[in-house]
Structure 1
Amino acid sequence: MTSRRNFLASAALLSAGVLVSPALLARNRRYIGLQLYTVRDAMAKDPAGTLAQLAKIGYNSVEGATYTGTQKFYGMAPRVFADLLKQHGLIMPSSHYRLGEELTNGAPVLGTMLHNWDRAVDDAAAAGVQYMVCAYLSEPERGNLDHYKYVADQLNKAGERCKKAGLQLCYHNHDFEFVPQDGQLPYDLLLATDPQLVQMELDLYWVTKAGRDPLALFKQHPGRFPLWHVKDMDRTPQQSFTEVGNGSIDFKKIFAQARPAGLAYFFVEQDATPGSPFDSVAKSLAYIKKNLV
């Protein structure tokens, strides 16, 4: 049963036009994105060559994975990186960031939600980013339910700053947010954030591995999931990462609910590959083009 809080949140989303219109969805479905973490080693060595290779394979959208600490995008100033993307016919509508509660060598990490977030937002806007995503909570950043409430408060604050710049904050899940604590799911506390300020990037692999149904989440929280990570789960007992279409996740059924979910952009991600990541992402792209878009 839909709770009063969920009903009000859904109503707020609908009144604000957050649900993606058919025209916008049709336009954005032509973008097939890749989370650059998949090719992180190549990006560290040769970002220009890596982007060129991804464009040649057929990707036309990417999601950033490194801004934290350097306050640059793969060693480049925001506008320089944006120009490089444009040279290869790529857009970067989304990029990943960290909460910043965890220290590195005893010092705070800049470019995170807790440290120098104003600069991060300005840089994101300059790079053409539309969605700034809290990518991950390290173990020290998780804690008990009270700490998740603190995280939710920080998400709201960071999301307010994004909103002022015309951007949208999102939260990207793993599986630990779905481990119950005292009868509650941490993910539900994160969903209790202001839907105008915080939306969700749903990682379809991790939510499935946690034993949760993405379709049920779409129904309970319509319009709340503008970003997806499309990664598949192999059929071994280890439930490892595999190429899209090579595993057990029913993407056809999930993509059929793109509109009620509020999907704007999706990104292939494969944290580990059996060989060259470029071979794996090419296989995923071929499946997606043939079966999903």
Structure 2
Amino acid sequence: MGASWNHRQKPAETETAVCGAPAAAARRGHAFWDHSATLGIRTCCGWSFGHSRGPVVVPRCAPAGFPVAFTIAIWQGRVETWRVTIRSRSDRTNIYGRKTANASSLMQNTRRRFIKSALGCSIGMTLSRTLPLAANPAKAISIGFQLYTVRGEFSRNAPETLKTLGRLGYQGVEFWGYGGTPNVYQEYSAADLRKLLDATGLKCCGMHLELKALSKENRQRTIENNRGLGNEYLNVAAAKDKMGSVDAIAELAALLNEAAAECRPHKMKVGYHAHPFDFATIDGRFAWEILFSQTLPEVSMQMDVGNCLAGNGDPIAMLKKFPGRTPTIHIKEHQDKSFESDFYKEVFRLCETTSGTRWYIVEMGGPEGNGFDVPREALAKLHKLGK
């Protein structure tokens, strides 16, 4: 990865910026999350750009004389720390483009040039691992299925249901209704279900939780069961009583933030799933907006496109407002919004560019959660679209 870095000399400090904008101006319109405070860096701004694993937020300001390295935070499927080594170079130019031994170098670097740039750069950057920068192509996003929509079949014969979904071509399944109990589903433990998944070639692409699964008394068991399943996406299925007022939403946000911090070392992400009631307006904003404005960037926004539309929400606007926060998304057709529609074309475009999406999860099934005709037809449509 290459980048041109902007050193702007000030009387008391040196600022290092990627995009070339002054720090005060760069703060406006750029994603910002200070993940570097533990290293003693005074981070003042961050630049977010899309790549195959979601946006990267780059802290880009360090005090004068900061010698070697700092971290950048990646929040899409997880939060990680990357080491970046900065090596100075004597060949610099000032803000007017003239070379000077002591003045700062100002290399205006556009978003496109930053992503496309290769190894050469004005100030060398050495990463301890390769940083994927390209957007997620359609085929890079796996397709899973929410088991609730075949709950009748699953309750009668879980092994055969998983085999059928695997034969249809789904790559993963999402479980539902977990409340922090020792078993994950009825008599099935996490180990039992993992064996069934492995036998059918399916992955666990998520679990829908009751809110009590994230309570302090149940949280560790929830983590252990999801580790057993090989699952990294823990989404609260619904919390209607917590989405009706600003104060209640603040309580829910605090719980999600706390749980996310505890799940982080286990490489698991905590999130919240959309229902129609989440798009009621409070003081001119969707309850959904209020919630995700108060949660950490690592808290997942599991958009449910059909549910959002049913609540008169705007899925596209929400995906744009909160980039990089949708590692899994529920897709279902709604009225005239078929998978082939221009509407879904834009949804898919966002998922494959800026939303950090790794799983499309189909939530379409037959009456009372029986039968596989609808799941089969839905997957055929997605494959026809190149998904």
The two structures have a TM-score, normalised by structure 1, of 0.82
Q: Which residue of 1 aligns with 2:175?
A: 64
Q: Residue 73 in 1 paired to residue 175 in 2?
A: no
* Bigger mean CA offset, 191-200 vs 20-29: 20-29
CA contact (8 A) 1:66 1:96 kept: yes
Q: CA RMSD in A?
A: 2.9
Residue 152 of structure 1: how far off its partner (Å)? 0.7
Q: Structure 1 275/203 Cα, relative in aligned 2: closer, same or farther at 3 Å?
A: closer
Question: Would you tell me which structure has more helix in proportion to its own residues?
Answer: 1
CA separation of 1:147 and 1:11: change in aligned 2, threshold 3 A: farther
Q: Does the residue aligned with 2:193 lie in a helix, a strand or coil?
A: helix
Matched, 1:256 2:349: yes
Q: Does 1:131 align with 2:242?
A: no
* Identical-residue share of aligned pairs (%): 27
Instruction: Supply the distance in 1 between the matched residues of 2:339 and 2:154 (Cα, whole angstroms).
Output: 25
CA positional deviation for 1:19 = 4.9
CA shift in 2, pair 1:114/1:231, >3 Å: farther
Conserved in 1, the CA contact under 8 Å of 2:172 and 2:203?
yes
Q: Secondary structure at the match of 1:256?
A: helix
- When structure 1 is superposed on structure 2, of 78-87 and 269-278 the one drifting more is 269-278
Shift of 1:206: 1.5
**8 Å contact from structure 1 (residues 34, 61) kept in 2:** yes
What amino acid is aligned across from residue 175 of structure 2 in structure 1? G
Q: Which has the higher strand share?
A: 2
Write the letter of the residue equivalent to 1:36: L
Cα distance in 1, alignment partners of residues 228 and 234 from structure 2: 13
Provide the residue aligned with 2:155 in structure 1.
44
Deviation of residue 159 (structure 1)? 1.0
Partner amino acid, structure 1, of 2:243: R
Aligned length: 273
Partner of residue 175 from structure 1, selected from 261, 265, 276: 276
2:267 is aligned, of 152, 159, 166, to 166
Counterpart amino acid of residue 193 in structure 2 = F
2:143 maps to: 32
SS at match of 2:258: helix
Structure 2 residue identity aligned to 1:47: A
- Secondary structure in 1 matching 2:285: coil
Counterpart amino acid of residue 8 in structure 1:
F
Displacement of 1:274 after TM fit? 8.6
Q: In terms of Rg, which structure is larger? A: 2
How far apart are the structure 2 equivalents of 1:28 and 1:170?
24
Residue in 2 that maps onto 1:7: 31
AA in 1 matched with 2:314: D
Deviation larger for 206-215 or 84-93: 206-215
**How far off its partner does 1:268 sit?**
0.2
Give 1:214-233 correspondences, 5 Å limit. 214-233=315-334
Task: For structure 2, list consecutive stretches of 5 or more residues without a partner in the other structure.
Answer: 1-26, 34-45, 49-54, 58-72, 78-131
Assess if the C-alpha contact under 8 Å between 1:233 and 1:249 holds in 2.
no
Deviation of 1:232 after TM superposition, in Å, equals: 0.9
Using the TM superposition, give the Cα deviation of residue 162 of structure 1 relative to its aligned residue in structure 2, in angstroms.
1.1
- Larger relative contact order, structure 1 or 2 (CA cutoff 8 Å, min sep 6): 1
Partner AA of 1:185 in structure 2: F
- How far the C-alpha of 1:123 sits from its partner, in A, is 1.2
* Structure 1 residue 97 displacement after superposition: 0.5
Which amino acid in the other structure matches residue 25 of structure 1? N
In structure 1, the gaps of 5 or more residues are 101-110, 236-241
Residue 120 of structure 1 corresponds to 222
Task: Decide whether aligned partners of structure 1 residues 69 and 262 sit closer, same or farther in structure 2, where only a CA change above 3 A counts.
Answer: closer
Among candidates 74, 78, 86, match of residue 17 of structure 1: 74
In 2: Cα distance, 1:22 partner to 1:269 partner: 30
Moved more, 187-196 or 269-278: 269-278
> Could you tell which deviates more after superposition, 11-20 or 86-95?
11-20
Is the Cα–Cα contact under 8 Å of residues 19 and 222 in structure 1 kept in the other structure? no
